[in-house]
Amino acid sequence: MSDQRSQLGKFLGQRLWFKATFERFSHKKIPAGGFSPVLLLLDVQLSNKKGKSISANVADHVWVFANKEVFKIGKELFEGDEISFSAVVDTYSIKRQDVVNKRNNIQQAVNQDNKQIFQDYRENYVDWKDNWKKVAQRNQAIKQQFQAGQIDRKTMQQLEQANIDQYKNRQPNGVTVKKEEEANKQQAKIDQRALKYIDYQLVELRQVKFIKQRRLHKGWIRKQITEKDQPNRKFTKYLAARSFAYKDGIAYDEFINKK
């Protein structure tokens, strides 16, 4: 999913005004069967009804279905034309590898973090176990002080117990480690769910109008179009062929000769 286009998510379900630059005309297979004409729009921005930009770069590109409202614009669109329109922000399901990879990367990262947490715990635990020798040595020294008459039995016992308690209090907490690992796993799930297998699109275009019509290459003239042309697949395929030829810089005479 486009990182820019994800910004449309906060407007989900709303009908808003947009402006965009036309790139090309094409067709897209639809679930019901057959193909429907579509437009590729670039540099999609939120705008007002007059086409003045309110928020730039809400989508670097978006494909929109060319419904009858699009054909009401009256003239053929060419690369570089700028248009404005109102549309509803909607979603559609995707299964893109980049999203899968990002989700997998999150899981790999948390696995690595938890592995390091456990390794640190094991090392600290081994070090703690080794420190018992030092505790035993200190308590042996205290016992020798008692035997030499330097301290009484009660003091000896208190000092020995203090050393033992201090040692126990420094024991690495395996329960805390487990909780930290589990917290990391839960956060990873949240981060993965945030990378949804959906993308955002603009549907139900209305009030499509030109903001700027590009001056065409020599020989090219805009065809007149009306809403009655929208269901005519032969004609829309012709428009798509013209769109690709113009974008590729093919002269009009050459395009006609290739037909």
Domains in the chain: boundaries: 5-94+198-258, 98-194
**What does the pLDDT look like over 37-95, one tens digit per residue?**
999 999 999 999 999 999 887 889 999 999 999 999 999 999 999 999 999 999 988 77
Phi, psi (5° rounding) for residue 184? Answer: -65, -40
- The CA radius of gyration of the chain, in Å to the nearest whole number, is 35
Architecture of domain 5-94+198-258: Beta Barrel (2.40)
pLDDT at 1: 45
At what angle are helices 97-130 and 132-147 packed, to 10 degrees? 20
Q: What are the residues facing 212 on neighbouring strands?
A: 82
pLDDT at 74: 96
Q: How far apart are CA 136 and CA 25, in angstroms?
A: 84
DSSP 8-state class, residue 75: B
Q: How far apart are CA 223 and CA 25, in angstroms?
A: 13
The predicted model gives 141-153 an average pLDDT of: 94
pLDDT-based confidence at residue 9 (cuts at 50, 70, 90): confident
Q: How far apart are CA 145 and CA 164, in angstroms?
A: 18
DSSP 8-state class, residue 8: G
Does the structure show a pLDDT above 50 at 190?
A: yes
For the record, the structure tokens of 44 come out as 């999609």
Q: Read off the pTM.
A: 0.66
What dihedral do alpha carbons 78, 82, 86, 92 form, nearest 10°?
60
H/E element holding 109?
helix 97-130
The predicted model gives 219-241 an average pLDDT of: 95
On average, the pLDDT of the chain sits at 92
Does the structure show a pLDDT above 70 at 3?
A: no
